[in-house]
Amino acid sequence: MKRARCTLAWLGVLAVAGCSVDKLPPTLVVHHVTSSQAQPKRVIVLPPECAQAWCRGEGALVAAQLAFRGIEVVDFEQLAARERVRTVIEIEQTSQTGTGSDQARQRTVSVVGPRLSDADLWTQRDALGQLGIDAIVRVRTTKLSTWPVRALALIRVTRSADASLVVSSACEAEVSRADSEAEMMDRALRCALAGIAR
Amino acid sequence: MPATFAAFIDPLLRMKLELAGLTLADAETMRLETAQRSERTTTNEGRHLAETNKTVELSEAPTLLALPPQQQRAVASSLGLQGVVATTLLVEAASSGGLRFELTLELRALANGGQQLRVRCVEAYESPEETATILANCVGDGVLAARAPDALIGRQL
């Protein structure tokens, strides 16, 4: 009986070992361009291509890393393209009840007008110069739906004046099919960030 | 290109093009007119309850993609862009009975319309996700092999 249990346990260990395949270490490719021009001091991170919440998180992750390294990150979504109109309406209601009075208040704030992220491409291009933004950061991630599944992330910094490359870091990482897309992309992106941080 | 396939092909292809040293401007995100934004935040406060609702409305604005090719080139030139990348996905019946997918990428100079690069990959159909990924990766690696062989990344599919 004891021997049978022991055999079963060993079979279980072998089955688990057979099913778990080691993933290859991530592949990282980094291009640093040595130039006589000064390193960028003020940058914008372009909005992600996809609309999911985790895509916005990717941009925020890269922006945080750049800010930590002393680079000022300008967010076009926080800046007004021109004067915006703000209207506040407050409604207060008081009703008498047997035990006293009840109060209800509604406050509606409307803000109408574009932010720089909504502006046409010429306005955005002019804003780059006016705000002293010397580089543009593009973050791209994608999933390679093959076997094994891989996630690929690219962080690319180019000068806003002439689109010349400052640094580019790409990472391909094998990921698990059980992971969510956010987890897959996060793994590849953090690997690419390590290349930028060098 | 069908939207399903484009969703798998475009992100991977764009990434490989940038890895190959090209700086891309995405035509579908470049607005020709400023979009109108309207944000409304409503807060309701009662004796025991307070709730806040926020809505954001953004008007549709035409993008560079909406213009006819001739005008697209004019706008792109005015922005200092140097080339146009176009991809074509061709589907035809294979002699074996299945479907045969062919993805072609063309890079043309804006100045004279001359072809600078053309990469083509062919793959038998498996599923939209798998076939599109393999084709995009193949064409992307073709661009890398031609322009930046040292940036070829990862294992071949």
Task: Name which of B18, B29, B80 is nearest A154 (Cβ-Cβ).
Answer: B18
ipTM comes to 0.82
Task: Name which of B11, B15, B37 is nearest A114 (Cβ-Cβ).
Answer: B37
> Residues near B37 by Cβ (< 8 Å), separated by ≥ 6?
A112, A113, A114, A115, A118, B56, B57, B58, B59
Two tokens at B140?
């992307």
Q: Is this structure's pTM higher than 0.90? A: no
Classified as helix, coil or strand, B152 is coil
Q: Taking CB atoms and an 8 Å cut-off, how many pairs form between chains A and B?
A: 122
> Among B39, B47, B75, which would you mutate to test the A interface (most chain A Cβ atoms within 10 Å of its Cβ)?
B39
Q: Which of B62, B34, B74 is nearest to A123 (CA)?
A: B34
**Beta-carbon separation of B15 and A152 below 8 A:** yes
Q: Which of B141, B139, B84, B71 is nearest to B115 (CA)?
A: B84
> Residues near A154 by Cβ (< 8 Å), separated by ≥ 6?
A138, A139, A140, A141, A168, A169, A170, A192, B15, B18, B19
- pLDDT single digits (tens) B52-107: 999 999 999 999 989 998 898 888 888 888 999 999 999 998 887 888 999 999 99
> Are the CB atoms for A156 and A138 separated by under 8 Å?
yes
- Rounded (to 5) percent helix, strand, coil in chain A: 35, 35, 30
Q: Which of A66, A55, A50 is nearest to A133 (CA)?
A: A66
Which residue type is seen at A13? V
Domain boundaries, chain B: 3-151
- pLDDT (tens, 9 = 90+) of chain A, 198 residues, equals 566 666 666 666 555 554 456 777 888 888 888 777 788 999 999 988 777 778 888 889 999 999 998 999 999 989 999 999 999 999 998 888 777 788 889 999 999 999 999 999 999 999 999 999 999 999 999 888 777 888 999 999 999 988 899 999 999 998 888 888 888 889 999 999 998 876
Task: Name which of B18, B30, B58 is nearest A121 (Cβ-Cβ).
Answer: B30
- Overall size of chain A counted in residues: 198
Assign domain A24-81+118-196 one CATH number from 1.10.150, 3.30.160, 3.40.1800, 3.40.30: 3.30.160
**Beta-carbon separation of B157 and A146 below 8 A:** yes
Strands A27-32 and A101-112: unpaired
Is the Cβ of A109 closer than 8 Å to some Cβ of chain B?
A: yes
The strand ranges marked E within B46-145 are 50-58, 83-93, 99-109, 115-124
How far B23 CA sits from the closest chain A CA (Å)? 7
pLDDT computed for residue B47 by the predictor: 74
**Beta-carbon separation of B43 and A144 below 8 A:** no
pLDDT computed for residue A2 by the predictor: 61
pLDDT computed for residue A177 by the predictor: 81
> Are the CB atoms for B24 and B17 separated by under 8 Å?
yes
Q: For all residues of chain B together, what is the average pLDDT?
A: 89
CA A190/CA A24 separation, integer angstroms: 16
Is the Cβ of A149 closer than 8 Å to some Cβ of chain B?
A: no
Classified as helix, coil or strand, A90 is strand
Task: Name which of A102, A105, A142 is nearest B11 (Cβ-Cβ).
Answer: A142
**Beta-carbon separation of A168 and B19 below 8 A:** yes
CA B109/CA B27 separation, integer angstroms: 16
CA B87/CA B119 separation, integer angstroms: 10
Element (H, E) at A182: helix A181-196
pLDDT computed for residue A72 by the predictor: 95
How far A18 CA sits from the closest chain B CA (Å)? 23
Among the ranges given (A103-112, A139-148, B36-45, B128-137), the one the predictor scored with the smallest mean pLDDT: A139-148
pLDDT computed for residue A88 by the predictor: 96
> Are the CB atoms for A63 and A73 separated by under 8 Å?
yes
**Beta-carbon separation of A49 and B11 below 8 A:** yes
pLDDT computed for residue B122 by the predictor: 94
Does position B123 have pLDDT exceeding 50, yes or no? Answer: yes
- pLDDT single digits (tens) A4-41: 666 666 666 555 554 456 777 888 888 888 777 788 99
How far B97 CA sits from the closest chain A CA (Å)? 23
Task: Name which of A113, A144, A168 is nearest B137 (Cβ-Cβ).
Answer: A144
pLDDT computed for residue A18 by the predictor: 47
> Among B153, B156, B157, which would you mutate to test the A interface (most chain A Cβ atoms within 10 Å of its Cβ)?
B153
CA A59/CA A76 separation, integer angstroms: 13
